[in-house]
Chain A
Amino acid sequence: MMEKPEKLIVDGKRLDGRSPDELRPLKIEAGVLKRADGSAYVEMGKNKVLAAVYGPRELHPRHLQQPDTAILRCRYNMAPFSVDERKRPGPDRRSVEISKVIREAFEPVVFTKLYPRSGIDVFIEVLQADAGTRTAGINAAAVALADAGVPMRDLVSAVAVGKVDDTIVLDLMKDEDNYGATDMPIAMLPRKKVITLLQMDGHFTPGEFERAIELAMKGCEQIYEVQKQALKAKYSTKPEEE
């Protein structure tokens, strides 16, 4: 663990050299898992997240089946080796909550009515964590769902904004999250700018909040472009010659 630095922002630059409105390097790849119906791998700075989607498929246990709609199930899980101190494997309070909010972030975009009595399973595995894993997980899951051929109104893009040394910053990394004042992950539909997830740890004044949302929207737009490219790249590759 790093000691708390005296200043998190020096001369308008953050600890990793980014400006306050800059995202971490982002890499998205679609269709990385052969056995899943859809999958995606996302690197957001030091975060490494894998998402897999199964379905729509016959839903078990059967008592969960809804006669008129598909249900969405989501599991966010952190690998024991994803953090500095070994994390006890298995679901805990935190990951159960994150699974729930991620599911709710996707429920408004998926056309569940097209697949009555079925289930769509989304698995998000955090391989390496560096603050903002739920947003990275959402970005991965959105691409994985599209890759699985699940009909959706839009993709979902997510990013965190926060307050560090009284500055509003985009896409917090670990030290900013740990020692900063506020952390606010946001997920939205990039086309209609509808927010489907918003959580906040810390305080914002109303003015700061507005600026933070604005910054997050800009961030999501950039992420959306990368998601789009990742999906198109999977199918634009030329077939190998026999």
Chain B
Amino acid sequence: MLYAQNREIVIPGQLIAEGSHSIYGGAFKEGNQIYSSVIGLMNVRGQDIRVVPLGGPYVPRQGDAVIGVVMDSHHSGWILDLNSPYVGNLFVSDLAGRKVDLDKEDINQFLSMGDVVMAEIRDVDERMRVLLDATGPGMGKIRGGKMVEISSAKVPRVIGKKGSMAMVLQSTSGCKIKVGQNGRIMVWGDDQRMVNAVVEALLMIEREAHTSGLTDRVEQFLEKMKSEGK
């Protein structure tokens, strides 16, 4: 029994369903009743219920690819800001991909303060201490490009269904983007004007994430910017 429609906006404490549904985030159960715990969009798929939040900070989850900024260093690694209540910990060997002898090598040659790193979250413990790994393909220190920060709740919208939105953003503008689950997006491109247009488009996605037909509007916007530049 459902009390809210699919894609309806629900608020904390609102009764959204009753019965034996499975909850995948954004909701909680009291007895047989299911209530939303955040302001978000109701999402029903068969017996599965989930409320997709419209806001809130990024909470690190194992397996996420994130973009961090080096905040601090210690004897064998760095502390990265993850645009979240929690910081990430990256060890040298998890960046270099090999054993690093700390007595022989200076770790400052790898990263310095303010550097941007793409990394995967290898582990998050119950105290929310985050262990990062930057050895995977496409991971590691990021050079050049523009960084955009949006709410992490809007990241799925930037990627789109099966990557459709990310595809549109890249193919229409000729730019390259990398999306971190923590709401940070890097944009590279030869044409500075199109890079700025992508940034604009990303901010537009953040503003209008809860509306439909967004991919088409983004495409139109980028096409317009492209034709104006010629």
B115 at interface by CB-CB < 8 Å: no
B226 at interface by CB-CB < 8 Å: no
Measured in the bound complex, the distance between the Cα atoms of B128 and A190 in whole Å is 33
B residues near A151, Cβ cutoff 8 Å: 12, 26, 37-38, 56
Please report whether the interface of chain A is mostly helix, strand, loop or mixed according to DSSP: loop
B35 at interface by CB-CB < 8 Å: yes
A57 at interface by CB-CB < 8 Å: yes
A111 at interface by CB-CB < 8 Å: yes
Contact present for B9 and A111 (CB under 8 Å): no
Chain B count of residues within 8 A CB distance of the other chain:
33
A58-B85 contact, Cβ under 8 Å, with A67-B127, A242-B221? yes
A148-B12 contact, Cβ under 8 Å, with A58-B87, A153-B35, A242-B217? no
Contact present for B57 and A57 (CB under 8 Å): yes
B59 CB to closest chain A CB, in angstroms? 7
A226 at interface by CB-CB < 8 Å: no
Nearest opposing residue in chain B for A117, CB measure:
B128
A153-B128 contact, Cβ under 8 Å, with A55-B57, A148-B55, A242-B217? no
B37 CB to closest chain A CB, in angstroms? 4
Interchain residue pairs A-B with the least CB separation, the first 3: A149-B56, A154-B13, A149-B55
Question: Which positions in A face B, CB cutoff 8 Å?
Answer: 37-38, 55-59, 67-68, 109, 111, 114-118, 146-155, 189-191, 228, 231-232, 235-236, 238-239, 242
Question: Which positions in B face A, CB cutoff 8 Å?
Answer: 9, 11-15, 26, 28, 35, 37-39, 53-57, 59, 85-87, 126-128, 153, 207-208, 210-211, 217, 220-221, 224
